[in-house]
Homo-oligomer: A and B are copies of this chain.
Amino acid sequence: MMRKANQKLATVCKNLSPSSTMTGVLQRSVAATSVVPSRSKVLTVDNMNPFVKSMEYAVRGPIVIRAGEIEQEIKSGKSKPFTDVIRANIGDCHATGQKPLTFLRQVVAICTDPQKLMNDPHDSAGVRVIREDVANYITERDGLPSNPDDIFLCTGASDGIKTIMKLLMTGKSGNERAGIMIPIPQYPLYTATIAEYNAYPVSYYLNEEKGWSLDVSELNRSITEAKKHCIPRAIVIINPGNPTGQVLKKENIEGIIKFAKENNLFILADEVYQHNIYAEGSAFHSFKKVLTEMGPGYKDMELASFMSTSKGYMGECGFRGGYCEAVNLDPDVKYQLVKSISAKLCSSVSGQAAMDVVVNPPRPGEPSYELYKKERDLVLGQLSQKAQMVTQTFNSMDRITCNVVQGSMYAFPQLHMSDAALEAAKKKGVPADVMYCFDLLENTGICVVPGSGFGQKEGTYHFRTTILPTVDKLTEMLERFRKFHDSFLTKYK
């Protein structure tokens, strides 16, 4: 029986990474669209939902499509100056060689096997157990109570973020649109969702000169300007940062909370990288803890914090597990939230089980602890090492500056373009960072994402790279990168 199941796997998942994403699929779909004639269609690009049209999603944009094409070209024997594509564009740990943690996979596998599963189908309270484990985790993390009734499990953090953001829409147009404050640079989910909901993006710039920190004066500038166009309703903070890799200091978080209070803003704290802290002196402070400890006037503020199974040291993108802890909501709003979740149905049970292991891993003395600790420490130790490698190597290159990767999985180095490079990009009709990244890909096989996909100060140019390739592969990647960069500088002197 199991032999047969194993055989079937040859079909089902011969090439299926547990965390494989739809990138490849999307590429092929796009490529395949050109065969259908467009005339006389019910649904055309002119009469379709304009807000879907205005969405952008850089992490899986044209450069990723080109990377896929190059991989196909290599497979079909085309000669290239490199032998493989290094995908440093997407925060999928397993896709770049990290092994899944044994314990998590064991638990989820056992949950799945019908012979082993403890199955009590008449009681739907099971998910409650996982939400209690999440609450216990938060309680332990912050040293402050957490209520399982404030927690809902979602299909990855993205799903939770969209669910909360949807509540904040005013449903009106013109300058009564809901404004959502987002950092620039930001993770493209935010601009894509804001576009889809026809909300107004209120951009605040992170301070690159001060390690991508967040200046309250910039928040004030941003919101003042935005009030002409929208009703600002919420502020998104990504901490540790994506794509910027910074870890906010406690005092900085206090300043943001005060700002949110003064401006009557709902706080959305994207804290999916809370386990990914590398730099000495850096520590993760949850918005919930800081806000609660600020006491009366602050501790009752509305806050939603998001966590994921996809990041951390588990890196389980494939299960699409996540949770949202939403505190201090108006009870009527909470009722509406619950209703909107029930219409969408819950996340997959595997994703929920994976989330449980993230918040409730083996403890010292338990049989699985030693292996778990070994695997976790290896992953986190290597990430820390790779964060340093990346920062140091980029800073050693001419015309590149790179803030310390304090946390998360990314660096967002700045490219200081020569006039010649800017001129060449202008001639090609593309932003200079896009030109750079495409040249890099074609010449080295390294796939990183141009900064313009995340947003950047006008006149500055960046790219986002993950720190996820294995140490050996990353070493090779940085060598290839240096060679390319030197030749780029020579070419555009």
Contacts and interface: CB of A to CB of B under 8 A. Distances in A.
A15 B266 contact: no
Given A36-B330, A49-B168, 8 more contacts: A4-B103, A13-B353, A15-B120, A19-B349, A20-B121, A24-B125, A41-B333, A55-B339
Contact of A2 (B106, B133, B300, B340): B106
Interface string A341-353: 1111111111111
B16 A126 contact: yes
Give how many copies assemble into the complex. 2
Contacts of A334: 29-30, 33, 36
Contact of A99 (B6, B114, B345): B114
A341 B22 CA distance: 9
Contact of A266 (B42, B233, B338): B42
A430 interface: no
Interface stretch (A200-208, A364-372, A384-392): A364-372
A196 interface: yes
A368 B43 contact: no
12 contacts: A8-B362, A12-B360, A13-B353, A18-B119, A25-B124, A33-B149, A38-B331, A41-B330, A49-B166, A100-B114, A348-B351, A350-B350
Contact of A349 (B30, B193, B319): B319
A33 to B, nearest CB: 4
Contact of A127 (B22, B189, B330, B349): B22
A123 interface: yes
A471 B250 CA distance: 61
A97 interface: yes
Contacts of A129: 11-16
Contacts of A155: 155, 320, 347-348
A115 B367 CA distance: 18
Contacts of A28: 128, 149
A106 B5 contact: yes
Contacts of A252: none
A43 to B, nearest CB: 5
A52 interface: yes
A378 interface: no
Contact of A9 (B102, B110, B369): B110
B50 A171 contact: yes
